[in-house]
Structure 1
Amino acid sequence: NIFTRADKVLSELEGFTKDVRGPLTQTVKNVETFSNALAKNSDGIDKFWSAVSSLSDQLKNVSGRLDSTLKAAEGLLNSVDKDQIKSIVANVDTVTANLKET
């Protein structure tokens, strides 16, 4: 009958409510504790995020300088005449060989 089923559903709901009351209450307390800790440390958190922001800006600046330095070095290396370097190394080898003979 419908009243028996309703009574059974309400009994199960009551049991479920009793089962979850403790963990749910503890979860709410944990959230409150965490929220209070954040509120107490808001200055520290603000300082931390400010430091992270400053570090990020510094990394951007360093990255830009590093990029321009690498481009300058690449340009310098590309401007070197490879045949002339081979000739200089060959001349050094010749001079070194001549020094060994004397």
Structure 2
Amino acid sequence: MNGFGGMHGGAVGAIAERVAIACARTVVGKDRELFLGDLSISYLSAAPLNAEVMVHGSVVRSGRSITVVATEFKLKDSDKLVYISRATLYHTPAASL
């Protein structure tokens, strides 16, 4: 919780990253490592204390070396959009030393 009684921005960022990685894993093989290159978050409104938040992620684009994932955070009771994020993940083959 932040000083204004809403969901802390760092928590939003951590959740957005984990959801983006999980979404990217649906299209990127397990033999490739994923690295977060960019994460942007728009804080549209606050999620109040004890509110249930639904998170939905989807792959926007996946190519040979990058995958872009969009994530939406909505309040469960009102379906109000509170945060949106976009993550760019780089994937490379695992090194064989």
TM norm structure 2: 0.24
Whose helix proportion is higher, 1 or 2?
1
Q: Which protein has greater RCO, CA pairs closer than 8 Å, 6+ apart?
A: 2
User: So what's the TM-score if we normalise by structure 1?
Assistant: 0.23
